[in-house]
Amino acid sequence: MPISSRFFVQTTTALLLVGFLALLGIVGMTFWLGERAQVYFNEVIAARDARIAAVDLRNALQTAESSQRGFLYTGNEVYLASYGPAKTLAERQLAAVNRLLASYEGLDASLKRLTTVIKDKFAEMDMTIEMKREYRDADALARVRTNRGKALMDEANIFFAGIISATDERLTTGVAEQKANATLLRLFSIISGIVIVIVIGIAAFTVVRYTRELRRARTEVTALNAGLEQRVEARTADLARANDDIQRFVQIISHDLRAPLVSIVGFTAELQDSLDSLRLLAERSNDPALQDARVAATELLPEAIGYIRSSSDKMERLINAVLKLAREGRRPLKSETIDLREIVTAGAAAIQHQLSEADGKIDIDLGVPRIESDRFSLELILGNLLDNAVKYRAKDRPLHIKVRARPMADGRVEIEVADNGRGIAERDRERIFDLFKRAGTQDQPGDGIGLAHVLVAVRNLGGEISVTSELGRGTTFRLTMPRALATPESIAA
């Protein structure tokens, strides 16, 4: 089944949307997982630092205790060399532990107790060291034998073990969450990648198939156009020959019709002359047998001859109209810059006498002052339309004609001639442009060739003409035509 342009555009748009959503999902998921990974990383770093601080705090406390015991046992100040730095390190690490574990829920009381225990432990060790320095060995030994220092150290070790266990658990959880995070990111990336690959595959298949169909269509068009110019020239030549044949046919018909018409007119004149002689003879004779001939010569035959002559005149006008239409179709168009206002004003001047008689007026609103077209054709068109507006005016109201022109978006111009005349019945609107066809009441002279002539002229200009009308309200003729006439010279250029 061939792919239509609409299907191709819709499918490509849908695939691009799916691919964009998949890519947007990857970006969003990557950002979210990255934020989660950063949170887990920060928590792991904080847990690691807290563990290190707790271990350093424990080691510093143990170092200080060992230094205190060595001094109490030997009385040698050398053992106290590491006591001061250990105490300073312990204080610093205690502050770090409190800061790093502040975000842990339920540890506030434990941290406070640990701080109290460590301070009490150092206070107890400071006291025994001072007693030893003052040579109060018995008091120092008694203080140690109370086992308060051991109890405080045991309690601190319990806290250290709990802190190290909690941070180890948090490190384990953080690593597991990091792995889960990476697994989720990998899984989502794989799924999204598969979706994008599928979308790209379908899009590529659609594009390739559509491209092949375009190439095949282009090949077909190329094949069809290979002899198009020759075919167009052949058709143009055929149309030209057909048109010439029609023109010759019209001329032959007109000649063949005109020949018997001339004979009818000639014999009618001879019959009229003979009728005059017969009438004179009948008037001079008193023979009753010639009375019927006198009636025929003075009443019947003159009436019959009058009908023959009027019909012959009408037939002559119709033949001339056919020839005029045929010549108009063959007349070469001359493109020139035309002032529409000048054409309309001249047409209005031609009907000014009738306008005055009808107490009428004409409004001119031209939004397109100048166009490139054939002057004679435009004069013929607008002249006929204005003449019809006057001819078929309503007798019960003043005549009002409006001539408007405006540009159209496709390089064409629209000209309207509207009147408030007696209008055209709906059944007659389709045939008013036919040759020898007239609509409505036949109370005006004419042979029904004006609008047929207008139609031929409009189409020669590359335009179209339409009519809208309401019986008893008025009629509007709407002409659309190129703003610049396409002549053979302009086409060739």
Buried b / exposed e over 380-409, threshold 16 CB at 10 Å, is bbbbbbbbbbbbbbbeeeebbbbbbbeeee
Residues 193-223: tens digit of each pLDDT: 787 788 788 877 777 777 877 788 777 767 7
The pLDDT value recorded for residue 493 is 44
Is residue 280, in this structure, part of any structural domain at all? yes
Residue 422: DSSP 8-state: S
Same domain, 130 and 242: no
Residues 368-408: tens digit of each pLDDT: 878 888 888 888 898 888 888 888 888 888 889 999 999 98
The pLDDT value recorded for residue 404 is 93
445 CB neighbour count, 10 Å cutoff = 6
Is residue 200, in this structure, part of any structural domain at all? yes
Which residues are registered as beta bridge partners of 403? 364, 417
Low-confidence winner among 97-111, 178-192, 433-447 (lowest mean pLDDT):
433-447
Which residues are registered as beta bridge partners of 465? 479
Instruction: Give me the percent of the chain exceeding a pLDDT of 70.
Output: 72
**Calpha distance 83→64 (Å, rounded):** 5
The pLDDT value recorded for residue 492 is 43
**Calpha distance 311→324 (Å, rounded):** 20
Is residue 374, in this structure, part of any structural domain at all? yes
Same domain, 280 and 399: no
Is residue 100, in this structure, part of any structural domain at all? yes
pLDDT band at residue 85 under the 50/70/90 scheme: very high
Same domain, 237 and 149: no
Is residue 464, in this structure, part of any structural domain at all? yes
Same domain, 365 and 451: yes
Q: Is residue 323 within 8 Å of residue 251, measured between CB atoms?
A: yes
Is residue 62, in this structure, part of any structural domain at all? yes
Is residue 66, in this structure, part of any structural domain at all? yes
Low-confidence winner among 175-184, 362-371, 471-480 (lowest mean pLDDT):
175-184
Among the candidates 330, 362, 378, a domain finishes at: 330
Task: Supply the range of the domain harboring residue 40.
Answer: 5-212
Residues 305-332: tens digit of each pLDDT: 665 666 666 566 656 655 665 555 556 7
pTM: 0.44
**Calpha distance 83→62 (Å, rounded):** 10
Strands in 361-366's sheet, in edge-to-edge order, are 361-366, 400-407, 412-419, 474-482, 464-470
Q: What is the mean predicted confidence (pLDDT) over 350-355?
A: 84
**Calpha distance 7→3 (Å, rounded):** 6
Angle at 151 between CA 147 and CA 156, to 5 degrees: 150
Domain count, the chain: 3
Average pLDDT, the chain: 78
**Calpha distance 284→196 (Å, rounded):** 120
Low-confidence winner among 6-20, 166-180, 279-293, 333-347 (lowest mean pLDDT):
279-293
Distances (CA, A) of 119 to 69, 130, 152, 154, 214: 18, 16, 10, 14, 88
Check residues 310 and 141 and name the one with the higher pLDDT: 141
Give yes or no for residue 179 having a pLDDT over 70: yes
Q: By C-alpha distance, which of 322, 461, 303 is closest to 382?
A: 461
